[in-house]
A and B are shown apart, each in its own frame.
Chain A
Amino acid sequence: MVAASLRLREVRKSFPAPDNSLEQRLVLDGISVSLSDGELVSLIGPSGCGKSTLLRLIAGLDFPDSGELLVGALPITAPSAERGLVFQDPNLFPWLTVRRNIEAGLAARGLLQGKQGEVDEFMRLVRLEAFGNAYPHHLSGGMSQRVALARALINHPKVLLLDEPLGALDAFTRMQMQDEVLRLWEARRTTMLLVTHDIDEAIYMSDRIMMMTQRPGRIEQTIPIHLDRPRDRSSQEFLQLRTQILEHLHFAGAAKA
């Protein structure tokens, strides 16, 4: 069996209810997940089901009420460069050029010196060699997101957390970027956890799809995708999976009502 690079056990998280009462609202209810090394897993579910909260917990930006989060054998206690996070908004530092943004991961840890070759390599990897000196606001959405990916990957994270990274892109760019992310994944074999609300994207990209329920978020079902890559979005199996997931989500919704 492959070593689990990320393991969550019975994670619960609640927030104060927005209506100012003292009540706590349960957002994540007993999430248990295990990601193997180099696996690409998607997390889909209705909006507000706590997908982003879960990623923040894994990133170490927030803390669970109870449960265990482990990377390898070590518990997650704080943010770390070993768990990269890419948001829907690329959040590039606007005061830095593209190159300096990509370097930021190294610079933040004081490891930049003598790593210019590596920076070059990542600029090439995301095909932005020609834009090193451009400032972020000159870039298109897809390019910005590629910079954000390179900035996270340059730290060689054990896990890359992707919070709807392609959600703000138009349909064509999004499909190109899906291939781009897959290419990066195949090149670097980084374990990736992708939060998305796009069912096609989840089927097209992942090894496994985990489906979450409406709040409080639980992982309802996990569907392994055994299709060979590159996947054909119009193949029979693809469409079957799509129908299966849609039915499932619909069923989940109807059961609650």
Chain B
Amino acid sequence: MLQSPAVPRVDKVGDSGSEPSGPSGIGTSAFVKSRENGEEPAKFSTAALLAVPSAAAVTLSVHLLVSKNEPVPDRNTYTTFLVTFFVVSIIAAVMQRKWPALRAAMWRLRPLFTAAVLLLCAWEVVTAGLRLLPLPYFPAPAGVMQSMVNDRALLFDSTWHSLVLLLGGYSLGVLAGLISGVCIGWSRPARYWGMPLLKVVGPVPATAWIPLAMVVSPSATTSAAGLIALAVWFPVTMLTASGVSNTRASYLDVARTLGAGQRYLIFRVAIPAALPSIFVGLFMGLGASFLTLVVAESVGVKSGLGWYVSWAQGWAEYGKVYAALVIMAAFFSTIMTLLFKVRDRVLVWQKGMIKW
């Protein structure tokens, strides 16, 4: 029933027949102890090992069954994708016996992957299979994937334009936000004059300025970058200012008795102390920048993923709309993940102190 132990580990997990391994006293269930400890297992049971491959197999068979009447070019990509996924999952299931890092990753991702593949299956059943949703608004996954492949050049180009615009606007907004935030947080006059402005102008959504931005700025792209910067500026300023002004007074007192001057107090005490708060602002700003980017691209800028979505919608090519949405999701979440990684790096000193 169980796999033979490939790599011996400290946990006596799932030794069926031997003494109970956890407080629950169940020796037959494969992962009792691991699940309780939240650790990766010493080995998979066959059932756990086959969860992803069998889900892929089910999805693949459903797909072949449902789309057997469709023309081959329209479903080819998706079929290939599912077959590849199936084969890779089988290979991974074999390889994990020799490769602990892969096993750990698989242990974590197995339920997620299984669910994701089954969700694709359900989507196909509901759309192409039972035709419960009206066309052309709700294409099957095969159609979406086909659009993605067919239009890959334009999609790539749109992603690239979105990336450039987003990064440009975001960095500008972060830079401005950090500067104004530190000023408002540190200096009393800057606080007196800056805070009312921040409180009045800040809450207005950046997208509300679109009419003005179009008049003021020479090109749609620069005005979009400005709007994104504005959207980012507000939360970054707010949280930087609050972080800096809430620096524990005793840190500043200690630094003064160590002989610190203004520069050290601001850059080596107040700003590091404010970093957790600053990162909250950076995350909020990033969310706001995504929103502003997509809106700006769908109303003025003639490139980017936002433009692509509304353009494809105009042609009623909903396969392309969803293809762009899928790419957008991957694109934005990657950027978000990168910011998380930066934070983990910068705020490593908080590790174990607070729950992230």
**Chain A residues in 8 Å Cβ range of B250:** 87, 89, 91
CB <8 Å contact, A108 and B259: yes
A89 and B256 CA atoms in complex are apart in Å by 16
Contact with A along B257-297 (1 / 0, CB 8 A): 11111001000110011010000000000000000000000
**Chain B residues in 8 Å Cβ range of A149:** none
**Chain A residues in 8 Å Cβ range of B254:** 85, 87, 91, 151
- Of the candidates B248, B255, B351, B353, the one whose C-beta lies within 8 Å of that of A104 is B255
- Of the candidates A60, A85, A97, A108, the one whose C-beta lies within 8 Å of that of B260 is A108
Instruction: Determine if B352 is an interface residue (Cβ-Cβ < 8 Å).
Output: yes
Instruction: Say what secondary structure dominates the interface of chain B.
Output: helix
Nearest-neighbour CB distance to chain A for B47, whole angstroms, equals 41
CB <8 Å contact, A93 and B269: yes
Nearest-neighbour CB distance to chain A for B3, whole angstroms, equals 39
- Of the candidates A79, A95, A135, the one whose C-beta lies within 8 Å of that of B275 is A95
Nearest-neighbour CB distance to chain B for A89, whole angstroms, equals 7
Instruction: Determine if B332 is an interface residue (Cβ-Cβ < 8 Å).
Output: no
CB <8 Å contact, A81 and B257: yes
Chain A: how many interface residues by the 8 Å CB criterion?
29
**Chain B residues in 8 Å Cβ range of A87:** 250, 254
Instruction: Determine if A35 is an interface residue (Cβ-Cβ < 8 Å).
Output: no
Instruction: Determine if B70 is an interface residue (Cβ-Cβ < 8 Å).
Output: no
Instruction: Determine if B315 is an interface residue (Cβ-Cβ < 8 Å).
Output: no
Contact with B along A100-125 (1 / 0, CB 8 A): 00001101110000000000000000
Instruction: Say what secondary structure dominates the interface of chain A.
Output: loop
**Chain B residues in 8 Å Cβ range of A155:** 258-259
Indicate whether A137 sits within 8 Å of B352 (C-beta atoms), given known contacts A91-B254, A108-B255: yes
Instruction: Determine if B81 is an interface residue (Cβ-Cβ < 8 Å).
Output: no
CB <8 Å contact, B268 and A83: no
- Of the candidates A61, A81, A161, the one whose C-beta lies within 8 Å of that of B259 is A81
CB <8 Å contact, B259 and A105: yes
Instruction: Determine if B349 is an interface residue (Cβ-Cβ < 8 Å).
Output: yes
CB <8 Å contact, A108 and B268: yes
A151 and B254 CA atoms in complex are apart in Å by 10
Nearest-neighbour CB distance to chain B for A140, whole angstroms, equals 14
Q: Which residue of A lies closest to B265 (CB)?
A: A108
Instruction: Determine if A138 is an interface residue (Cβ-Cβ < 8 Å).
Output: yes
Nearest-neighbour CB distance to chain B for A211, whole angstroms, equals 26
Counting chain A CB atoms within 10 Å of each CB, the highest count among B256, B351, B352 belongs to B256
Instruction: Determine if A16 is an interface residue (Cβ-Cβ < 8 Å).
Output: no
A60 and B258 CA atoms in complex are apart in Å by 12
**Chain B residues in 8 Å Cβ range of A91:** 248, 250-251, 253-254
What's the interface size class on B, roughly? 20 to 34
- Of the candidates A60, A80, A84, A94, the one whose C-beta lies within 8 Å of that of B349 is A94
Instruction: Determine if A59 is an interface residue (Cβ-Cβ < 8 Å).
Output: yes
CB <8 Å contact, B272 and A93: yes
- Of the candidates A83, A89, A137, the one whose C-beta lies within 8 Å of that of B257 is A83
A85 and B256 CA atoms in complex are apart in Å by 10
Q: Which residue of B lies closest to A85 (CB)?
A: B257
**Chain B residues in 8 Å Cβ range of A85:** 253-254, 257
Counting chain B CB atoms within 10 Å of each CB, the highest count among A81, A84, A93, A107 belongs to A93
Instruction: Determine if A71 is an interface residue (Cβ-Cβ < 8 Å).
Output: no
CB <8 Å contact, A94 and B259: no
Nearest-neighbour CB distance to chain A for B17, whole angstroms, equals 42
Instruction: Determine if A152 is an interface residue (Cβ-Cβ < 8 Å).
Output: yes
CB <8 Å contact, A151 and B275: no
A214 and B254 CA atoms in complex are apart in Å by 27
Chain A, 66-99, CB within 8 A of any chain B CB: 79-81, 83-85, 87, 89, 91, 93-97
**Chain A residues in 8 Å Cβ range of B272:** 93, 95-96
**Chain A residues in 8 Å Cβ range of B269:** 93
CB <8 Å contact, A79 and B349: no
CB <8 Å contact, B349 and A61: no
**Chain B residues in 8 Å Cβ range of A137:** 349, 352-353
A155 and B257 CA atoms in complex are apart in Å by 10
**Chain B residues in 8 Å Cβ range of A60:** 256-257
CB <8 Å contact, A94 and B257: no
Nearest-neighbour CB distance to chain A for B297, whole angstroms, equals 38
Can you offer 16 A-B residue contacts whose CB atoms are under 8 A?
A: A61-B253, A61-B256, A81-B258, A91-B253, A91-B254, A94-B353, A95-B275, A96-B349, A105-B258, A105-B259, A108-B258, A108-B260, A109-B259, A138-B352, A151-B258, A152-B257
Given contacts A81-B257, A91-B253, A93-B251, 5 further A-B contacts (CB under 8 A): A59-B253, A80-B259, A87-B250, A93-B272, A97-B349
The residues of A with any CB-CB pair to B shorter than 8 Å are: 59-61, 79-81, 83-85, 87, 89, 91, 93-97, 104-105, 107-109, 135, 137-138, 151-152, 155, 161
The residues of B with any CB-CB pair to A shorter than 8 Å are: 248, 250-251, 253-261, 264, 268-269, 272-273, 275, 349-353
Please list the 6 inter-chain residue pairs (A to B) with the smallest Cβ-Cβ separation, ordered nearest first. A81-B259, A108-B260, A79-B256, A85-B257, A105-B258, A95-B272
